[in-house]
Amino acid sequence: MCGIVGYIGDKPVLPLLINGLKRLEYRGYDSAGVAMIDQDKIWYKKRKGKIAELEVEINGFDLTSSVGLGHTRWATHGEPSEKNAHPHFDTEHKIALVHNGIIENYAQLKETLKAEGHVFASDTDSEVLVHLIAMCYDGDMAFSIRKALQLVRGTFGILVLSTHEPDKLFAARRGSPLVIGIGENETLVASDGSALVEHTRDVIYLEDNEMAVVNKHGAKVRTLQDTKVEKAVEKLPYDLVHLQKGGYPHFMLKEIFEQPETVWDSMRGRLLVEEGNAKLGGLQSCIDRMIHSSRLILTACGTSWHAALIGEYLIEKFAKIPVEVEYASEFRYRDPIISRVDTVLAITQSGETADTLAAVREAKQKGALALGMCNVVGSTIARETHAGVYLHAGPEIGVASTKAFTSQVATLALIALALGRMNQLSAEEGREIAQALKQLPDQIRQILEQASHIEKIAAKFMHHNHALYLGRGFNYPVALEGALKMKEISYIHAEGYPAAEMKHGPIALIDDQMPVIFIAVKDSVYEKVISNIEEVKARGGWVIAVVSEGDKACAKLCDEVIEIPYTIQSLMPVLTVIPFQLLAYYTAVMKGCDVDQPRNLAKSVTVE
């Protein structure tokens, strides 16, 4: 969601802040700002809109300051505007603060502060924090910040600078990530390692309820209760190359075309083809407990929830273990019945999704085995679960997830295979599944070779305002995911349904202006889906279908077809989703939409 970057060292800080904020643009934002110490005063600039507009605003300023902070805001309290952009300041303009998260009791705190004479300049909950710190200030910034944060309910990742102690930055977190980069005579702070990797790969991660006092020689960390904490220095698992477009016009297209490699990377060293098995090192310590669980609960949000639905089908088919899939945002609030013989697997690309993290904590509190699946090494989910598995898909910059989804499905297939072989799945069946998994990267390449054909379909599709995506069985979640991709980046209203449910309402929408996109591959429900296609054609609908390679009979019924190679039914989702990703991408580009940073969306949803 919002982005934070800070620097203290020997270099001019302003260009470093701007470059750092650009590295965080993919997270989604609506305004940006910077502040720095300049001749015993705080200099700042803020702008609504893109970082490029902020650059224009600061162009020509020749400042030699070497300590500062910056922020990209995604509006929660208060509309996107210059006054609501960060940083925020105390009344005397001696303290500057940037904040990610939500302060739940800000209204009460604001009234108290107003009564004490504090004057507010924004509509945000964040501004309350800086005034609270000023109210608590007694000559020691670290003490004042700790004291102020004791009064706060909610989540925060904050970075503070002050003319009171101009040679330091102060960082604290509860529920919103912060990482500190350790360089040579320079230290950086950011909400995401991507803002640090140009300068250093040596980092320390702040945990909840910890605060760091940062100078150019490093950081000293204590809890908010003032207990010293020893932090290990870790390595960022990627370098600058991973954060560049590599010749592609958008990160999203680059990430779509990376999927042959990223799907294989998620299986590399884990898939045992000759044995017909899988071994995931991160889960080995708890695999026995998983297989003896009364049920597995998969919890996630958005695209990860769609992957979880496929995971339900995979695990129940291969391992014969009951599986439930829960929206993480609902899971925590409905007082779920969880026991010590349950396993909860949280699935999240970023490892920081607030609702998913809350579901993990709920599961742990009730005694369940809490596992994580994420793509970001060192993320909060990775640190707070009992065990877990990384996707190894590399940084995903496009806000609309693509390669993380296919890696999640492939990894869930590995988990299902491993559990299945411990239960009722034979070695012969295991080898068939493993061979099919091994072939997926090359099959994805074959589909990507049809990109120009899919682009031509998009040229027709872009003129429509609504669409239905229909699939059955393993491909029903893919219909949901295809519709979500189209909504996210092209702003075309699209809905996904099980194909048989079309008759229970959505069929009323079908006319010659309604594209209907089917997944009609040759599987156990193929004939049923063909019947659904005929029903749509009888009502004048425009049919696009993803079909099995060489299926001429289905092609005759449809207006447009996209062929995919054959794989076993349970792994079809890894292939059928690729055309939908490309269709959404090309449609959005032709409509002139901001593909990598769609409106109102954030990459990592770290607030409720």
- State residue 508's pLDDT score: 83
140 Cβ contact partners less than 8 Å away, ≥ 6 residues apart: none
Q: In whole angstroms, give the CA distance from residue 384 to residue 207.
A: 10
Angle, helix 141-149 to helix 126-136, in steps of 10 degrees: 130
297-317 pLDDT, tens digit each: 999 999 999 999 999 999 999
Element (H, E) at 586: helix 572-590
Rounded mean pLDDT, 238-259: 84
- Catalytic site residue from 2, 301, 374, 593: 2
Pairing of strands 515-520, 542-548: parallel
51-74 pLDDT, tens digit each: 988 988 888 777 789 999 999 987
593 is an active site residue:
no
Angle, helix 403-422 to helix 259-267, in steps of 10 degrees: 30
Rounded mean pLDDT, 428-450: 97
- Catalytic site residue from 147, 216, 487, 603: 603
Rounded mean pLDDT, 217-239: 91
Q: Which domains does the chain have, with CATH numbers?
A: 3-242 (3.60.20.10), 251-441 (3.40.50.10490), 450-593 (3.40.50.10490)
pLDDT over 90 at 44, yes or no? yes
- State residue 371's pLDDT score: 96
Mean pLDDT of the chain: 92
- State residue 607's pLDDT score: 56
Measured CA distances, 399 to 510, 527, 533, 583 (Å)? 31, 36, 32, 16
Rounded mean pLDDT, 376-398: 88
DSSP 8-class letter at 164: T
Percent of the chain with pLDDT over 70: 98
Quick check: pTM over 0.85?
Answer: no
| Burial (CB count within 10 angstroms: exposed 0-12, middle 13-18, buried 19+), residue 334 | exposed
Pairing of strands 95-100, 156-162: antiparallel
Measured CA distances, 320 to 314, 409, 425, 565 (Å)? 9, 18, 9, 28
Measured CA distances, 4 to 98, 192, 604 (Å)? 7, 8, 13
Which tokens sit at 337?
Answer: 């019945």
- State residue 608's pLDDT score: 56
pLDDT over 80 at 243, yes or no? no
> Per mean pLDDT, which range of 59-68, 176-185, 443-452 is the poorest?
59-68
- State residue 382's pLDDT score: 87
CB 359 within 8 A of CB 299: yes
363-375 pLDDT, tens digit each: 898 999 999 999 9
339-368 pLDDT, tens digit each: 999 999 999 988 888 888 888 888 898 999
Return the bridge partners of 326, or none. Answer: 299
Q: What angle do CA 79, 82, 87 make, to 5 degrees?
A: 100
Rounded mean pLDDT, 270-291: 94
514-531 pLDDT, tens digit each: 899 999 999 889 899 999
- State residue 84's pLDDT score: 93
192: left (phi > 0), else alpha (psi -120 to 50), else beta? beta
pLDDT over 70 at 433, yes or no? yes
Q: Where are the beta strands (DSSP E) in 175-322?
A: 179-182, 187-190, 202-205, 210-215, 218-223, 228-229, 234-235, 271-272, 277-278, 295-300
168 is an active site residue:
no
Return the bridge partners of 494, or none. Answer: 467
Query: Smallest Cα–Cα separation from 43: which of 16, 65, 15?
Result: 65
134-149 pLDDT, tens digit each: 999 999 999 999 999 9
Measured CA distances, 32 to 29, 94, 108 (Å)? 8, 20, 27
The count of other CB atoms within 10 Å of the CB of residue 43 is 17
Which tokens sit at 459?
Answer: 């040229």
- Report the half-sphere exposure of 436 (CA within 13 A, side-chain side): 21
Residue with tokens 């939409």: 593
